[in-house]
A and B are shown apart, each in its own frame.
Chain A
Amino acid sequence: DTAVSQTPKYLVTQMGNDKSIKCEQNLGHDTMYWYKQDSKKFLKIMFSYNNKELIINETVPNRFSPKSPDKAHLNLHINSLELGDSAVYFCASSQAYTNGRDTQYFGPGTRLTVL
Chain B
Amino acid sequence: QKEVEQNSGPLSVPEGAIASLNCTYSDRVSQSFFWYRQYSGKSPELIMSIYSNGDKEDGRFTAQLNKASQYVSLLIRDSQPSDSATYLCAATREGAQKLVFGQGTRLTINP
Query: Which residue numbers of A lie inside 8 Å of B, CB to CB?
Result: 31, 33, 40-45, 48, 56, 90, 94, 96-109
Contact = CB atoms under 8 A, between A and B. Distances in A.
Interface of B: 31-32, 34, 38, 42-46, 49, 51, 86, 88, 92-101, 103-104
A103 B49 contact: yes
Main SS at interface, chain A: loop
A2 B32 CA distance: 27
A17 B28 CA distance: 37
Given A100-B92, A108-B42, A94 B97 contact: yes
Given A42-B104, A100-B95, 4 more contacts: A90-B43, A98-B97, A100-B94, A108-B43
Of B34, B38, B43, B51, most A-chain CB atoms within 10 Å: B43
A45 B98 contact: yes
